Amino acid sequence: MYISMKTFLAAAVGAALAATGANAADIAARPYTKAPVAAPVPNWTGWYGGINAGGGWTDTDIGYAANDPLTAILFGLAPLPARGDSVNASGALGGLQLGYNYQFQRNWVMGLETDFQFSGIRGSGSTSYNVNAGQFITHVSQNIEYFGTVRARLGYLPTDQLLVYATGGFAYAQLNNSVSMSAAGAGTFANLPVGGVVYSVNCNPGDACFASSSNRVSPGWTVGGGLEYAFWQNWSLKGEYLFARFQDSLTPAAVTVTPGAVASTYNAKVTTDLNIVRLGLNYKFSGY
């Protein structure tokens, strides 16, 4: 059969258009799938505040030194300067913290934090010393009412949500320290005139011979480290250990002296090492 060129071309164009329409229908029928949205990466930069609670314990050493000729004789008979005393106090604590973080690289965070803690840390102890004049007993006690720190922090992010950090800086504490010495058994009475000055101490059995106390804020320093985990929206949880050291000086003086005499005294240097373990909950004001 003879088919003209015109008829052949018309049939070819029609077939091509039919095929194109079918392909377009197939494409329109396919469901549209969105690309998965990546989870936001936490950003640690910003201000935060929170609460904490935990416990603390101390290792406090008290060293003694004579302060006049009379106590020099006494300490020559009893090895007080060499032995000294110690107090191990413990108790609960809790407080608040406020700070600012700056994430300066993907895995590094630095910042500044201050905290204030109410404390129930307290303890006491006593030691007996035998000398030629009889037996003496030293008594020491300590109560930490509150303490606080101002610290720098530097941390590393092994994951986007976990911060491992070291910290250190200034610390202060309200230390209530008490030091005394009493006589056991027979009473002791001593007067020592030196250069026109009479140094005196009178110890009745069971009573304090020397006594001193201090109630003041002592400065110190602190170092430590911890872990902090950003677990939900603006919230993070941290665990932390801090070591702090404070020093205080007291001058126990004779409680009872001969009229007209000068009360004999000695020096007591109190060094307190404070260990702190606590958990904290932080709220980041700008969100992670």
Q: Where are the domains of the chain?
A: 45-284
pTM of the model as a whole: 0.81
Average pLDDT over residues 154-177: 97
Predicted pLDDT at 27: 45
Query: Domain spanning 45-284 has what CATH number?
Result: 2.40.160
Predicted pLDDT at 131: 65
Predicted pLDDT at 81: 53
Indicate whether 165 pLDDT > 70: yes
Indicate whether 14 pLDDT > 80: no
Selected residue with higher pLDDT from 35 and 197: 197
Which of 10-14, 141-145, 186-190, 258-262 is predicted with the least confidence, judged by mean pLDDT? 10-14
Mean pLDDT of the chain: 86
Which of 60-69, 80-89, 157-166 is predicted with the least confidence, judged by mean pLDDT? 80-89
Pairwise CA distance, residues 263 & 156, whole Å: 58
Predicted pLDDT at 233: 87
Indicate whether 182 pLDDT > 70: yes
Average pLDDT over residues 41-60: 94
Return the closest-CA partner of residue 243 out of 175, 145, 174, 171.
171
Indicate whether 7 pLDDT > 60: no
Residue 221 banded pLDDT, cuts 50, 70, 90: very high
Predicted pLDDT at 85: 87
Predicted pLDDT at 1: 44
User: How does strand 197-203 pair with strand 262-263?
Assistant: parallel
Indicate whether 83 pLDDT > 80: no
Indicate whether 75 pLDDT > 60: yes
